Amino acid sequence: MGLPPERSIVRLRVPVYLAFTLCCALPAVAQYEDLVDFPDAPTRTKEEEGVICTIEGVQFTKKPGPTDGSKELSIVFLLTEKPSAYFNYYDPIKKAVVFDFYDTHIGESIMEPIHEHPITNSTVELFKLDLNKDVAGLKPDVRDVVRVSLFSVYDLEYDIQEDYGVITMNFKWSNKMERKFKAKSRAIYWEFPLALMALGGAGYAGYKYFYKEDAKPVDFLPVYPDHP
């Protein structure tokens, strides 16, 4: 009696391992998208409707810091009144510190771009934003938004000071701080590959845990030596 033909087995070791690793890595790669979503401004009351703030200028001042190679900088936003809301955040895609002023228009004054290290350039733009665009059935709530972008490769640490008609961004800069930021960016450069390696190891461990080797066929028929 002959043995049945051996089953053909499709080996999926490498694809399964890669898929497991990529599933773990993708959330870490995509999470930056949450950092650049438009924030929701508060809904205006009847009294606030039609009230528009105007940004008349974006200026900067600087003065020497306490140590060699250090300085103290201030970015001043000149407004006719307080906007209904404003938000500030770092956009890692544009590489810029961004200020969004809601229910605001741009004045007639010429705004010179800022070129003061670590800020390489600045822009001011006006656009319209519907806060209800993603909510079905709601009446559109369209706002005028002025966006000021301060371009810098560094996610600057700064303080905000508010006065009537003036919002000021204050920060300090020095050669020592720049070295610190560069060291941090280099650390992130190495952390990502290391994280992928760690995830790869976890993927391989998961694969080894869940993957079961197919049992080899066992021949239960006794083998007798040939008779003379």
Rounded-to-integer distance, Cα 137 and Cα 29, Å: 33
What are the pLDDT digits (tens) for 29-87?
Answer: 333 333 334 445 555 565 556 568 999 999 999 999 998 889 999 999 999 998 999 99
pLDDT one-digit tens code per residue, 90-118:
999 999 999 999 999 999 887 899 999 99
Closest alpha carbon to 211 in 8, 7, 5, 15: 15
At 174-221, the pLDDT tens digits run: 988 888 888 876 654 445 454 555 555 555 455 455 555 555 555 545
pTM of the model: 0.63
Does 27 have pLDDT greater than 70?
A: no
Quick check: 12 pLDDT over 50? Answer: no
Residue ranges of domains in the chain: 10-38+175-213, 40-173
**Alpha-helix residue ranges (DSSP H) falling in the chain:** 13-30, 175-210
- Average pLDDT, whole number, for the chain? 74
Chain centroid offset of residue 175 CA: 26
Which range of 2-6, 17-21, 148-152, 174-178 scores highest in mean pLDDT? It is 148-152
CATH class of 40-173: mainly beta
Residue type, 173: W
